[in-house]
Amino acid sequence: MSVAPQHVAVLMGGWSAEREVSLVSGAAVVEALRRRNIRVTPIDVGHNVANILAGLKPDIAFNALHGRFGEDGCIQGVLEVLGIPYTHSGVLASSIAMDKPTAKILFERVGIRCTQGSVFHRDQVLAGHVMPTPYVVKPINEGSSVGVKVVFDGSNRAPFDSEAWHYGDHVLVERYVPGRELTAAIMGDRTLGVTEIRSHHRFFDYEAKYTKGEAEHFCPAPIPADKYQQAMDMALKAHQAIGCRGVSRSDMRYDDTPDGTGEIYLMEINTQPGFTPVSLVPELAAHAGIDFESLCLWLLEDASCRR
């Protein structure tokens, strides 16, 4: 699409655990598109979003939602039905990526090394250690580290309170991979680069992700060149394995500890990664010479639906 779209609806907010993050992403996108003189209508997405979009009839929807309903194929399905082209991944890739155990099955099929884990019933996880410590307990389909807990050596406490677990009956439990945290961004069919994240917390938890100064980004990641390339290849392979569109970001662990394996493990792919100008994907795009406004415009050009 070479001509700028006339009217863009920016979908943000929603009602997932990541609502606040999405409002920040959405506001940044609205500002960037307005700076390029594009007519923009911000929509704080509620349960009546289909009616609002049907009345508004935008040329394109910029999806700035994160988490459930915005990142898992649901809003994508609404947009398909309405025939409104939208940014980022489609229905199938979105729903696969959001369901971590399902995504891993597909990643492993194409030879991507993933963090090892299994799904347990929450009662089993509460009853005692389901694998040797250290291990990681996480919801099957959340984001932003919501509900993620690391059970370190020596811990004899349950990883969560039964009443405080709002993420369903099933829990993903993974072996903890020590070492370094990496994330790599994909834009269409190109790799943008790899960032190392050093969290001041014991892992990259919600506070470390969204509180200024609680985590540092090293972009590009200061790791050996072959590992850097391997992380980029892994992210592109993951993006393609589940048929992602637009931008995605893959989160990994690199075990470079003295007694470790020296390998990189994929934790997950994010089809609606954080999108403020200081978020990881825009930062990697800037490193690759693409500013935030250009990244937003590219996503609009890349937007589609089946009609």
**Positions marked active-site:** 18, 144, 210, 249, 251, 268, 270, 274
Angle at 94 between CA 52 and CA 68, to 5 degrees: 60
Cross-strand bridge partners of residue 10: 42, 62
- Asked if 174 touches ligand ADP (CB under 6 A), the answer is yes
The correct pick among 86, 120, 165, 176 for binding ligand ADP (CB under 6 A) is: 176
The correct pick among 143, 246, 273, 274 for binding ligand ADP (CB under 6 A) is: 143
Distance CA 64, CA 13 (A): 8
Q: 163: which residues sit within 8 A by CB, 6+ positions away?
A: none
The correct pick among 120, 204, 254, 275 for binding ligand ADP (CB under 6 A) is: 204
Which of 284, 12, 277, 20 lies closest to 146 in space, CA to CA? 20
The correct pick among 18, 71, 72, 142 for binding ligand ADP (CB under 6 A) is: 142
Q: Which does 254 bind (CB under 5 to 8 A by kind): ligand ADP, Mg ion, none?
A: none
C-alpha to C-alpha distances, 256 to 13, 174, 229, 262, nearest whole angstrom: 38, 18, 16, 5
The correct pick among 18, 72, 196, 268 for binding ligand ADP (CB under 6 A) is: 268
CB atoms within 10 A of CB 57: 11
- Asked if 205 touches Mg ion (CB under 5 A), the answer is no
Q: Which does 196 bind (CB under 5 to 8 A by kind): Mg ion, ligand ADP, none?
A: none
Task: Count the residues in the chain.
Answer: 307
Only segment of 9-17, 30-38, 244-252, 280-288 that touches Mg ion (CB under 5 A): 244-252
Report the nearest approach of Mg ion to the CB of residue 1 (Å). Answer: 31
Cis peptide leading into residue 134 (ω within 30°): yes
Question: Side chain identity at 252, as an amino acid letter?
Answer: M
Give the count of residues interacting with Mg ion (CB under 5 A).
1
Distance CA 303, CA 8 (A): 11
The correct pick among 91, 148, 221, 231 for binding ligand ADP (CB under 6 A) is: 148
- Asked if 25 touches ligand ADP (CB under 6 A), the answer is no
Q: Based on the number of CB atoms within 10 Å of its own CB, is 299 exposed (0-12), middle (13-18) or buried (19 or more)?
A: buried
- Asked if 144 touches ligand ADP (CB under 6 A), the answer is yes
Q: Which does 141 bind (CB under 5 to 8 A by kind): ligand ADP, Mg ion, none?
A: none
Only segment of 14-22, 106-114, 121-129, 173-181 that touches ligand ADP (CB under 6 A): 173-181
Residue number with CB closer to ligand ADP (157 or 202): 202
The correct pick among 181, 182, 245, 299 for binding ligand ADP (CB under 6 A) is: 181
- Asked if 251 touches Mg ion (CB under 5 A), the answer is yes
Q: Which does 115 bind (CB under 5 to 8 A by kind): Mg ion, ligand ADP, none?
A: ligand ADP
DSSP state of 163: G
Only segment of 39-47, 148-156, 248-256, 287-295 that touches Mg ion (CB under 5 A): 248-256
Phi-psi region of 303 (alpha: psi -120 to 50; beta: other; left: phi over 0): beta
Question: Element (H or E) spanning 283, and its range?
Answer: helix 280-287
Residue 114's Cα: distance from chain center in Å? 16
Residue 282 near residue 266, CB atoms below 8 Å:
no
What is the binding site for ligand ADP (CB under 6 A)?
Answer: 115, 136, 138, 142-146, 148, 174, 176-177, 181, 203-204, 251, 253, 267-268
